[in-house]
Amino acid sequence: MQTVITCYNCHFNSVVEGHIKRAVKILQNYILLGTRASDNKIYPATFMALYYKTPSNQDTSFYTVVPYYSHSIVSQGRECNDCHNNQNVQDYNNTGELVITQWDANQHMLMNRTGVIPLVPDWQTAFKFDFLNYTGQLDTSYTDPTLWELAESGTADHTQNLGYILPLTQEQMNWLSTPMAIDESEDRIPKEFALYQNYPNPFNPTTTISFSLPISSRVTLKIYDLTGQEVATLLENQQLTPGTHEINFEAEQLPSGVYLYRLWTTQYSAAKKMVLIK
């Protein structure tokens, strides 16, 4: 899935007065990740931003976020690390903000953040934009990139979310901040299902969980605290081949304590304890 937005940053004055849609550029190679309001499932989203004059002649910046239904086809699908603890997630965790668009005055280009971008809980203040204004004639088509200029930077004057897509919760952000990687060994096919003790154990903050599959199976692997609260999802109904598999689990965002990791398929279920000591 790949986002291509052609209506981004339409020059609102030219639409109203000149009936011409003038976008500064096409933004691509990104997608927002939010929660679909209808069923609370993780779902792709996108945004549209405007810089315009109000009826009272006041310059105003604005953007809205909405669900995104993509029909694009790409040759290679996304992997776990494209979402989990990616650079965008790390930038937000380190700085508390995400610069979505940035104006390069030397090249007269608007650059946009790429990859999977979380729709963070405080998106209205955490998302930062460079808004542009077109200084050319409103009754002509866009021809000269030098006629665009930086009008405003930072938090938008107004934001809008009609409620169809919701920001991620802090709990979902914690899951998204957990790095993971899947390694498949090339050993001979096991004769039975098995879930092994994690190693090292106790651990801080990274450990490895391994399991064996005698047949191709859809696998779910989740982490729980002792109250039964789910704290991380490492695999969710993922189709895996026969063999012994390893998953690296990093619990940097979790407090010290005893946790349970549970694995199940349609034919097998098992759980074990592990200890996180910080």
pLDDT at 161: 79
3-state SS, residue 30 = strand
Q: Which pTM value belongs to this model?
A: 0.58
- Examine the pLDDT at 203 and tell me if it is beyond 90: yes
pLDDT digits (tens, 9 = 90+) for 73-104: 566 677 788 888 899 999 999 999 999 999 98
Domain boundaries in the chain? 4-172, 179-276
- ∠ CA 90-94-99, rounded to 5°: 75
Q: Which two tokens stand for residue 54?
A: 């109000």
- Examine the pLDDT at 236 and tell me if it is beyond 90: yes
- Examine the pLDDT at 215 and tell me if it is beyond 50: yes
Task: Return the CATH fold of 179-276.
Answer: Immunoglobulin-like (2.60.40)
pLDDT at 142: 58
Q: Provide the Cα torsion 191, 200, 86, 185; round to 10°.
A: -30
Which residues make Cβ contacts (< 8 Å) with residue 95, sequence separation at least 6?
Answer: none
pLDDT at 21: 56
- Examine the pLDDT at 206 and tell me if it is beyond 70: yes
pLDDT at 272: 96
Q: For the residues 204-227, what does the mean pLDDT come to?
A: 94
Instruction: Give, as one character, the DSSP assignment of residue 203.
Output: B
Q: For the residues 45-61, what does the mean pLDDT come to?
A: 82
- Examine the pLDDT at 29 and tell me if it is beyond 90: no
pLDDT at 54: 76
Residue, of 144 and 20, whose pLDDT is higher: 144
Which residues make Cβ contacts (< 8 Å) with residue 156, sequence separation at least 6?
Answer: 49, 61, 62, 63, 127, 129, 131
pLDDT at 127: 95
Residue, of 137 and 33, whose pLDDT is higher: 33
pLDDT at 247: 93
Identity of the residue numbered 66: V
Residue, of 54 and 238, whose pLDDT is higher: 238
Q: For the residues 118-134, what does the mean pLDDT come to?
A: 91
The DSSP bridge partners found for residue 36 are 165
Strand residue runs (E) in 78-157: 98-99, 101-104, 109-112, 115-118, 127-134, 148-154
| C-alpha span between 95 and 82 (Å, rounded) | 20
| C-alpha span between 37 and 40 (Å, rounded) | 5
Could you tell me the pLDDT band of residue 175, with boundaries at 50, 70 and 90? confident
pLDDT digits (tens, 9 = 90+) for 248-258: 999 999 999 99
Residue 39, phi-psi category: left (phi > 0), alpha (psi -120 to 50), beta (remainder): alpha
